[in-house]
Amino acid sequence: MSFLKKISDFYDKAGQILSSIFEYLVVIFIIALLGGALFDMVQKVPPEGGSPNGGIIVVAPTPSYQFQAETYIMGALLVFGTVGFIALFRAANTIGEKRYAAALATLGIISLLITIIGTIYFASLK
């Protein structure tokens, strides 16, 4: 009977892990779409542009166009923001471990600040 119980527990844990993986994949997919990956796939944009001086341009000069490097940078900023929100949510729900909750809250606030400042900087470049 205990062998069947162990198998049942294993399948329960495997189901929870698979559902968590699916949720993370959905979040990654949404972040990729928000970062501009769909535009890159449809328009087949180059990874970066070149300047007349021979330099590399990673931010397109017009708001109606973008390079793949922009997509990766914005995707990374959105990941930082997502990590910040998750850390703040976990910090608010942590009971009895003040140092852990404070560390999570600090990580969340720093991640959100990086996201906000990076997004404002990127918007100012356009």
pLDDT for residue 1 = 55
Q: Which two tokens stand for residue 57?
A: 């341009």
Give the pLDDT confidence score for residue 114 in this predicted structure.
93
* Number of separate domains in the chain: 1
Query: Which residue numbers in the chain have pLDDT < 50?
Result: none
Q: Kindly report the pTM of this predicted structure.
A: 0.67
Q: Which two tokens stand for residue 91?
A: 């910090």
**What integer pLDDT is reported at residue 115 of this predicted model?**
92
Range of the domain at 79: 2-125
Q: What Å distances lie between residue 9 and 17, 20, 37, 93, CA to CA?
A: 12, 17, 39, 26
